[in-house]
Amino acid sequence: MTIKTKKTVLITGGAGFIGSYLCELLLDKGFKVICMDNLITGSLSNISHLLKRSNFEFIEHDVSKFIGIQERVHYILHFASPASPVDYLKFPIQTLKVGSLGTHNVLGVAKANKAKFILASTSEVYGDPLIHPQPETYWGNVNPVGPRGVYDEAKRFAEAITMAYHRVHKIDTKIVRIFNTYGPKMRKDDGRAIPNFISQAIKNSPITIYGEGLQTRSFCYITDLVSGIYKLMLTKIHDPVNLGNPKEMTILELAKEVIRLTKSKSKIVHKALPQDDPKTRQPDIARAKRLLNWKPNVSLRSGLLQAIKSFKKEGLR
């Protein structure tokens, strides 16, 4: 669906991996897009192709500090936060601040503008899950004082304050719980499994598997994810919705698939498993299917091939 009257959307974290795809999608749908990012993990290179578009504006700002927006905004997509384990371990306090103070500030902008608000939450709210696959009704198994707690608890707080603003101030809020997502434009050094494995495989250097590699994840291609977020944005659903690809595999299987698709000579090496690394993860997407009529379409093979192609191209620059 294309929006006829021009509405303005504020995307925090708009220069990040997922945020930059949302900026482009919403510009294409006819929105005016204000992209806000402090660039600690996001990058201008993700949005440089959008800067010349007349309905696009970039504001470098840390949303954990007061946000002064002069014009009326109709939608807010709050995607600002470090999101890779390596990044949130490097920026633990910024991660806690953006999830708490940042979400409070952005909800304040939503309230002042009577804007619809979409929070980027995460499968990490389920922690190291004891229920499998994870439905939205599961409350999670999170270690608040472990190294990952800075992200998990920040996002759990962000969900709680979002629901409080919905209940108290009647803000039209939505919460998307995003499971592992990948694709072109991921930072090669963001430390996550797919960018690490692709970069290592292209260079024929060792593929680093943390632990035995028997922990599982389920990987969703970026365009599938953003189409689900757009559908959610246009609904009246206030309860959290999982978005992700339910096809689950071990990290070892993922590494082998990357080696196959890159025709790499890389060998697998094992490194220490990070503390509190979830043993399993698979989204239950029944709610998204039922309420959004959404399901992912891109296979792992075809998504990985796209990512590999773009990583190779960027490596040549």
Which of 43, 199, 208, 227 binds ligand UDP (CB under 6 A)? It is 208
Whole-angstrom Cα distance, residue 236 to residue 18? 22
Query: Does residue 126 have an active-site annotation?
Result: no
Kindly state the tokens that stand for 177. Answer: 């719980």
Is position 215 an interface residue for ligand UDP (rule: CB under 6 A)?
Answer: yes
Least CB distance to ligand UDP at residue 35 (A): 24
Q: Does 217 bind ligand UDP (CB under 6 A)?
A: yes
Number of residues that bind ligand UDP (CB under 6 A): 16
Cis peptide preceding 184, ω within 30 of 0: no
Q: Choosing from 21, 151, 182, 230, which is the catalytic residue? A: 151
Tell me 52's DSSP state.
T
**Exposure b/e, 239-256, CB count within 10 A at least 16 = b:** ebbbbbbbebbbbbebbb
Candidate list 210, 268, 291, 306; residue touching ligand UDP; CB under 6 A = 210
Check binding of 81 to ligand UDP (CB under 6 A): no
Radius of gyration of the chain (CA): 19
Q: Which residues from 218-237 bind ligand UDP, rule CB under 6 A?
A: none
274 is a contact residue toward ligand UDP (CB under 6 A): yes
**Region 174-193 residues binding ligand UDP, contact defined as CB under 6 A:** 180, 191-193
Q: Which of 103, 196, 242, 282 binds ligand UDP (CB under 6 A)?
A: 196
- Report which DSSP code applies to 131: S
Q: 100 or 180: whose CB is closer to ligand UDP?
A: 180
Give the closest residue to 257 by CA, choosing from 315, 310, 213, 313. 213
Q: Which is nearer to ligand UDP, 50 or 207 (CB)?
A: 207
3-state secondary structure of 97: helix
Sign of the torsion angle spanned by Cα atoms 128, 132, 134, 140: negative
Is the Cβ of residue 155 or residue 192 nearer to ligand UDP in the bound state? 192
Widest CA span in the chain: 58
Contact status: 147 vs ligand UDP (CB under 6 A) = no
Q: Residues 7, 253, 277, 291: which binds ligand UDP (CB under 6 A)?
A: 277
CB nearer ligand UDP, residue 193 or residue 243: 193
Which residues does 109 contact at the CB level (< 8 Å), separation at least 6? Answer: 10, 67, 69, 73, 76, 115
38 makes contact with ligand UDP (CB under 6 A): no
Which residues of the chain form contacts with ligand UDP (CB under 6 A)?
A: 84-85, 180, 191-193, 196, 208-210, 213, 215, 217, 251, 274, 277
